[in-house]
C-alpha cells in the first residue's frame, strides 16, 4: 500500500514553518520514504537527519517516557511491564531512576556505534555523533545526571503524585490524537498528544504539560495549551470554563497554572486555520500535498539557527 504524505497541522509543524522554510521542507517533504532501504541516498540521509536528537531534547524524551510509564503503571496496576519506549512501568524512585538510566545508556551506545541507523524509526540517534561533535565523557555524564535529577524531581512532584492517586480519573496519557478544525476548504486536520489529562471529578479536566528544558516561552506554552483546550472542548465535550492547564517544569521544579478558556481556545482555533492556510499556499499541488524544494528558501548565510539545525549537512551549511 502506498502511504500518502498528508498535510496535518501540529504545534511543532506550525513553529517549524516559521523558523526556516527549507528545514520545514526537509522535515515534512524531502525525507519522505527515506525509511525505505531502496530510497535514494540523499533522501535516506534526510530521513536520518529528521530523526536526530540532541542531548537537551533527549533529556526531555527520556523524562517524559518515565512520567508516562509511571502514570500508566498507576492506571493499569501491577500488570504493566513496559511502555513503547521500553521503559519499565515503575513505582519506586529507585526503579524509575534505574529505568531512565538503562534507556539513556542504551540510547548513547546505540547512537555512538551507528547501530541506530539500521532501525532509525525506533532508535535514538544523536546529532552529536552524526556530526562528530567534540562531546566529552563528562558532557555525556552531565546529561545523564540531569536526567536523573529531573526524574527525582518528577517523583517528588506533587502533581505527579496526585496523578498516581487519582489514576482512575486519568483520561489520556501521551496518546496521539487526530481531529479536524473548521470545515470546507479551510478545514485543518490536527495532531496532538497531551502529556496527561485527568478528570477533576466535577465535569472538567486538568491538562498537565511536563517541561524539561531551560528556556520555555510563556507565549509558546500558552499557545500549545490552547490547542489542548480546543481538543478537550471539541472532541471530549468538556465545557470551555472547566479546563485547567498546568505546566510543570521539572528542570526548575516549578509549576504554573495557565488560563485555558474561551479566548485561548478561539485563539488556538484561529492560529491553526491561519497556519494551515499559509502551509497550503506554499504547495505546488494542494490536493496531492506536493511541495517544491525551490519554493522553500534557506535562511541567510551565517544564521545562528543553521549551526544547530539537524539538516545542515544536506543543506550545505555544515
Ligand atoms: S541549515 Fe539553516 S538554512 Fe539550512 S535548513 Fe537548516 S536552518 Fe534552514
**Per-residue model confidence as pLDDT tens digits over 110-137:** 999 999 999 999 999 999 999 999 999 9
Please report the pLDDT score of residue 84 as a whole number. Answer: 47
Q: What pLDDT is recorded for position 213?
A: 85
Section 192-199 average pLDDT: 96
For residue 309, the ligand 1 atom closest to its alpha carbon is 6
Q: How far apart are CA 133 and CA 173, in angstroms?
A: 35
Angle (CA) 197-151-246 rounded to 5° is 30
Sheet strands side by side (includes 170-172) = 170-172, 196-199, 205-211, 243-249, 254-259
Three-state secondary structure call for residue 245: strand
Least Cα distance to 124 among 85, 154, 89 occurs for 85
Q: Summarize the confidence of residues 198-203 as an average pLDDT.
A: 94
* pLDDT confidence bin for 76, thresholds 50/70/90: confident
pTM for this predicted structure: 0.91
CA pair distance 8, 276, nearest whole angstrom: 8
Position with higher pLDDT, 215 vs 163: 163
Nearest atom of ligand 1 to the alpha carbon of 20: 8
The reply to whether CATH 3.90.320.10 applies to domain 168-281 is yes
Strand partners, 188: 181
Q: Which residue, among 5, 97, 45, has the nearest Cα to 291 in the 3D structure? A: 5
Q: Mean pLDDT, to the nearest integer, of 26-34?
A: 97
Q: Is the CB–ligand 1 distance for residue 313 below 6 Å?
A: no
Q: Would you call 174 helix, strand, or coil by DSSP?
A: coil
Q: Candidates 18, 20, 318: which one to mutate for ligand 1, based on the most atoms within 8 Å of Cβ?
A: 20
- The pLDDT value given to residue 220: 81
How far away, in angstroms, is 179 Cα from ligand 1 center?
31
Mutate to test the pocket of ligand 1, among 16, 19, 22 (most ligand atoms within 8 A of CB): 22
* Rounded distance between C-alpha atoms, residue 39 and residue 8, angstroms: 24
Task: Take atom 2 of ligand 1 and give the residue whose Cα is closest.
Answer: 306
The answer, yes or no, to whether residue 89 has pLDDT greater than 70, is: no
* pLDDT number for residue 154: 96
pLDDT at 79: 45
Decide whether any atom of ligand 1 lies within 6 Å of the 308 Cβ: no
Residue 63 confidence class, pLDDT cut points 50, 70, 90: very high
Closest CA to 312 of 130, 156, 109, 123: 130
Specify the range with the lowest mean pLDDT, choosing from 84-88, 230-234, 242-246, 295-299: 84-88
Nearest CA to ligand 1 atom 7: 306
Specify the residue with its C-alpha closest to ligand 1, atom 4: 315
Give 216 Cα–ligand 1 centroid separation in angstroms: 22
SS3 (DSSP) at 211: strand
Percent of the chain with pLDDT over 90: 84
Q: For a ligand 1 pocket test, name from 295, 304, 312, 313 the mutation site with the most ligand atoms within 8 angstroms of its C-beta.
A: 312
Q: Is the CB of 309 under 6 A from ligand 1?
A: yes
The residue extents of the domains of the chain are 20-166, 168-281
Rounded Cα distance, 202 and 296, in Å: 48
Task: Give me 200's grid cell.
Answer: 477533576
**28 pLDDT above the threshold of 50:** yes
- CA gap 159, 184 in Å, rounded: 41
pLDDT in tens, 239-280: 999 999 999 999 999 999 988 999 999 999 999 999 999 999
Residue 67 CA to ligand 1 center (angstroms) comes to 33
- Judge whether 310 and 49 are in contact, CB under 8 Å: yes
- What distance in Å separates the CA atoms of residue 88 and residue 175, rounded to the nearest whole number? 18
pLDDT at 91: 67
- Residue 223 pLDDT > 90, yes or no? no
pLDDT of amino acid 80: 45
**CA gap 300, 285 in Å, rounded:** 27
| Three-state secondary structure call for residue 85 | coil
Atom of ligand 1 nearest to the CA of 299: 3
Burial 183-199 (b: 16+ CB within 10 A, else e): eeeeebbbbbebbbbbb
Given a cut of 90, whether residue 227 has pLDDT beyond it is: yes
> Which SS3 state, helix, strand or coil, does residue 248 take?
strand
Amino acid at each position: 500500500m502506498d502511504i500518502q504524505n498528508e498535510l496535518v497541522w501540529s504545534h511543532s509543524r506550525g513553529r517549524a514553518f516559521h523558523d526556516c522554510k527549507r528545514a520545514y521542507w526537509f522535515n515534512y517533504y524531502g525525507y519522505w520514504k527515506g525509511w525505505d532501504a531502496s530510497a535514494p541516498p540523499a533522501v535516506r540521509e534526510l530521513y536520518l537527519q529528521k530523526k536526530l536528537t540532541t542531548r537537551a531534547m533527549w533529556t526531555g524524551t527520556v523524562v517524559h517516557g518515565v512520567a508516562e510509564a509511571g502514570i500508566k503503571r498507576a492506571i493499569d496496576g501491577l500488570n504493566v511491564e513496559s511502555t513503547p519506549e521500553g521503559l519499565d512501568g515503575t513505582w519506586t524512585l529507585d526503579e524509575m531512576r534505574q529505568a531512565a538510566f538503562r534507556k539513556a545508556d542504551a540510547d548513547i551506545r546505540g547512537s555512538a556505534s551507528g547501530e541506530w541507523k539500521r532501525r532509525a524509526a525506533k532508535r535514538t540517534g544523536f546529532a552529536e555523533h552524526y556530526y562528530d561533535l567534540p562531546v566529552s565523557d563528562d558532557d555525556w555524564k552531565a546529561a545523564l545526571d540531569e536526567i536523573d535529577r529531573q526524574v527525582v524531581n518528577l517523583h517528588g512532584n506533587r502533581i505527579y503524585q496526585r496523578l498516581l492517586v487519582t489514576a482512575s480519573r486519568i483520561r489520556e496519557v501521551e496518546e496521539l490524537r487526530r481531529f479536524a478544525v473548521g470545515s470546507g476548504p479551510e478545514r485543518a486536520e490536527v495532531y496532538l498528544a497531551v502529556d496527561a489529562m485527568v478528570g477533576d471529578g466535577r465535569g472538567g479536566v486538568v491538562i498537565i504539560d511536563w517541561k524539561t528544558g531551560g528556556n520555555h516561552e510563556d507565549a509558546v506554552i500558552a499557545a500549545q495549551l490552547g490547542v489542548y483546550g480546543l481538543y478537550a472542548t471539541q472532541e471530549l465535550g468538556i465545557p470551555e470554563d472547566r479546563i485547567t492547564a498546568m505546566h510543570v517544569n521539572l528542570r526548575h521544579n516549578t509549576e504554573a497554572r495557565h488560563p485555558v478558556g474561551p479566548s485561548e481556545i478561539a485563539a488556538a482555533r484561529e492560529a491553526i486555520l491561519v497556519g494551515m492556510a499559509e502551509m497550503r499556499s506554499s504547495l505546488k499541488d494542494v490536493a496531492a500535498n506536493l511541495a517544491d524544494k525551490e519554493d522553500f528558501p534557506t535562511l541567510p548565510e551565517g544564521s545562528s539557527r543553521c549551526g544547530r539545525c539537524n539538516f545542515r549537512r544536506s543543506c550545505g551549511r555544515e
